[in-house]
Amino acid sequence: MFKPHPVTVGIGAPTFQDVVNVARHDAPVELSTEAFAEIAKTRRTIDALAADSTPHYGVSTGFGALATLHIPHEKRVQLQRSLIRSHAAGSGPEVEREVVRALMFLRLSTLATGRTGVRPETAAAYARLISDGLTPIVHEYGSLGCSGDLAPLSHCALALIGDGPVRDADGTVTTFPDPITLHEKEGLALINGTDGMLGMLVLAIHDLRNLLTTADITAAMSVEGLLGTDRVFAQELHALRPQHGQQHSAANLRRLLKDSAIVASHRGPEDTRVQDAYSLRCAPQVAGAARDTLDHAEHVARRELESAIDNPVVTEDGRIESNGNFHGAPVGYVLDFLAIAAADVASMAERRTDRFLDVSRSHGLPAFLADDPGVDSGYMIAQYTQAALVSEMKRLAVPASVDSIPSSAMQEDHVSMGWSAARKLRRSLDALTQVLAIELLTAARGIQLRAPLTPAPATAAVIDALGTEPGPDRFLAPEIAAATDFVKAGGPRRAAEAITGELA
């Protein structure tokens, strides 16, 4: 059984792969020596401020709209517990395990910078919670994305102090066996961050890289199956418009369609078609624009991974300062951008699928790709499913980040809704995976029906790996589910790259 190596959490930024390994592969975590030293150094500053007779926000005051209230020393442990209990106010379904683990890992990464003021033993306990495979129960609703993901992070902190439920690796509900008592500043340090929305952004970027390459693969297969031309993907044409993502997608299509006997069969003057439909001809322009959007999102995510987000924060010269870095706008915007791009890629894929099923546009293929049209319905209803998914994605593409509902007695009068943007992006990418799976199935059927003409070696390899054959109607839902799993696992990309080499 594969056991991932521990991920070391230091004072620097974690990598995307670190997040994926902890979130999805249950990698344990360990704090570096440098991180422990920096945490201990900063904690001495907090202890000094706690002993000061002058109130300091986050150390000896209340929170939010109650920030002007001075809290006596003997009530500060109660203050921390009350903060966590009151802010753990989420509701609705449980959030996925991988999201909670990503969220916790990124909060630990910020603690490790030494800018939050927690004690070394608190950071160590948080690391144990992750490494022991214990996942706090976090709920769907509760975060406004400012001050960060308060409610989700509070449910994790509640587990750390022994008051909140966790699930072990087997899913059994239990509690953390080694709870801690929080001291001054630690409650805020555990809950003031963009870690939930950032964790979901990193996982989405990881998944979308695979899906956009898969979209190039399914587009190439549709070009073949619909007797489209590959001339529109020529390098010199795309050099006229130097959008990087577009050029990468066009290069993928050229490599995928190389040596296709199907494409070569209609290159002569007897082909009277002047131009292919936009859904074929403009595939690199749309998928390429999505790639450029993804690149921008990755830049934002990398900067956020380098950040130490808390309020107040302890500066390197020992001051404790309030700030607004917890506001989730930078992350919320790109989460929304990606949902828009994903919806457009899916919309174009659905249009290609529909062309396969219409005898007036499929250039000689049987109606709905049915084995015996009339008796069999072929992929008619698979396209309905695809259309329903695309319609849902269009609704999910409506930006969450344009909304704001004031909270905390108007102290927090503008919020990012970044958590909501992240939640809907996850649903959108799940739908995109299914949309591409259905295009993969229909394009494979269309290519097979072009026999004895043969497809390109790369697309042929994808069809072989998919493992479907033409034939009479069968129970289609399991076939779609299997194709979806194939896409999600990167199967089309691996099969194609065995022929083409690494695709962009």
Q: Which residue has the tokens 């009068």?
A: 413
Domain boundary among 155, 175, 193: 193
Domain co-membership, 80 together with 163 = yes
Domain boundary among 163, 193, 223: 193
Convert the pLDDT of each residue in 4-29 to its tens digit.
Answer: 899 999 999 999 999 999 999 999 99
Q: What is the pTM of this model?
A: 0.96
Give the separation between CA 291 and CA 246, rounded to whole angstroms: 8
pLDDT of residue 412: 84
Domain co-membership, 394 together with 445 = yes
Domain co-membership, 281 together with 416 = yes
187 domain residue, yes or no: yes
Are residues 164 and 88 in contact, defined by beta-carbon separation less than 8 angstroms?
yes
pLDDT of residue 258: 98
Which residues does the chain have with pLDDT short of 50?
none
Give the separation between CA 373 and CA 421, rounded to whole angstroms: 43
Q: What is the CATH number of the domain that holds 405?
A: 1.20.200.10
pLDDT of residue 22: 98
Domain co-membership, 12 together with 55 = yes
Domain co-membership, 93 together with 224 = no
Are residues 342 and 393 in contact, defined by beta-carbon separation less than 8 angstroms?
yes
pLDDT of residue 53: 79
146 domain residue, yes or no: yes
364 domain residue, yes or no: yes
Map 389-434 to HEC letters. HHHHHHHHCCCCCCCCCCECCCCECCCCCHHHHHHHHHHHHHHHHH
283 domain residue, yes or no: yes
pLDDT of residue 363: 94
Nearest to 228 by CA among 236, 239, 238, 219: 219
Are residues 249 and 210 in contact, defined by beta-carbon separation less than 8 angstroms?
no
Domain co-membership, 55 together with 158 = yes
pLDDT of residue 272: 65
Convert the pLDDT of each residue in 249-262 to its tens digit.
Answer: 999 999 999 999 99
Domain co-membership, 133 together with 278 = no
2 domain residue, yes or no: no
Catalytic residue (one of 57, 333, 379, 384): 57
Kindly state the helix (H) or strand (E) to which residue 500 belongs, with its residue range: helix 491-500
272 domain residue, yes or no: yes
SS3 of residue 300 by DSSP: helix
165 domain residue, yes or no: yes
Tell me which residue range forms the domain holding 121: 7-193
Number of folded domains that form the chain:
2
Is 126 a residue of the active site?
no
Angle of CA points 19, 21, 27, to nearest 5°: 115
**Alpha helices, DSSP H, located in 15-92:** 16-25, 33-50, 76-87
1 domain residue, yes or no: no
Domain co-membership, 180 together with 165 = yes
Domain co-membership, 271 together with 328 = yes
Q: What is the CATH number of the domain that holds 117?
A: 1.10.275.10
Are residues 291 and 250 in contact, defined by beta-carbon separation less than 8 angstroms?
no
Domain co-membership, 96 together with 58 = yes
Domain co-membership, 167 together with 140 = yes
pLDDT of residue 2: 63
What single-letter amino acid sits at 461?
A: A
Domain boundary among 193, 208, 234: 193
Domain co-membership, 253 together with 393 = yes
